[in-house]
Amino acid sequence: MKRRFEQLVDQHGRRLLQVARLLLGRVDEAEDVVQDTLVKLWSHLRQLDDGNELPWLVTCTRNACLDRLRGRTRARLALLRVADEHPLSSPTGDLDSGPADVLLQDQRARVLRRGIAALPEPGRSLLILRDIQELDVATVARALDLSQNQVKVYTFRARRALRRHLEEQSHEQVA
């Protein structure tokens, strides 16, 4: 059982951390959530059938993130978004790109993350799971307790809402 647990941690830990980070916008809180989720996985591992671990992990991580988000006050949320500008820069840049390209990529990534964070649920989670992490429809449907058609439609609408949001921001900057 320990080997199975280690495999699951190595297989999905990174994915869970990204989900939590995108939902919460903070690395430290995201790590706390992922740690709690993986500890819960250890205590529930016997009850989980093979193949059901990832939906269970995603559900657990997402619920923990949403609980934390509900607990934040509006003022605190605003402060975190400001702080989000700096610590979220990816340490793994493309070494072949020049510094200007890396900077532009980082800026674009931050814009995308902020845009995703501004989306309502479940669209935000759907974009993270379907488009960023490219999980299959069935897994996402199980994790979010939706039908597969709902996953597809809601993902489409969330993506289009994000695109509208990005276009509006772009127009504001030009103006």
Partner 1 sequence: MNKSPESFERDLRREQAIEQAAQAPRDLELAADWALKRELAGLESDALPDLLRRRVLAQARAPSGHRPVWWLAAAAALFASLTAVVLVQLPVPSDDASRMAGAERPGALMPSSMLEPADALDLRLALNTIQQTGRRATWLAGRGLSEHLDPEDVDFGIEQLPYADAIRSVFQNSSRDPYPQKEPKP
Which DSSP state fits 128?
Answer: I
In the chain, what is the straight-line distance between the N-terminal and C-terminal CA atoms, in Å?
Answer: 59
Nearer to partner 1, 43 or 73 (CB): 43
Q: Which residues of 154-170 are buried (b: 16+ CB within 10 A; e: fewer)?
A: bbeebbebbeebeeeee
Q: Which of 42, 87, 138, 168 binds partner 1 (CB under 8 A)?
A: 42
- φ, ψ of residue 5 to 5 degrees: the values are -65, -45
Torsional sign, CA 129, 130, 136, 138:
positive
CB of 65 to partner 1, least distance (A): 15
Q: Which of 5, 68, 69, 80 binds partner 1 (CB under 8 A)?
A: 5
Nearer to partner 1, 156 or 169 (CB): 156
Q: Which residues bind partner 1 (CB under 8 A)?
A: 1-2, 5-6, 9-10, 13-15, 17-18, 21, 27, 31, 34-35, 38-39, 42-43, 45-46, 90-92, 108-109, 112-113, 122-123, 127, 131-134, 149, 152-157, 159-160, 162-163, 166
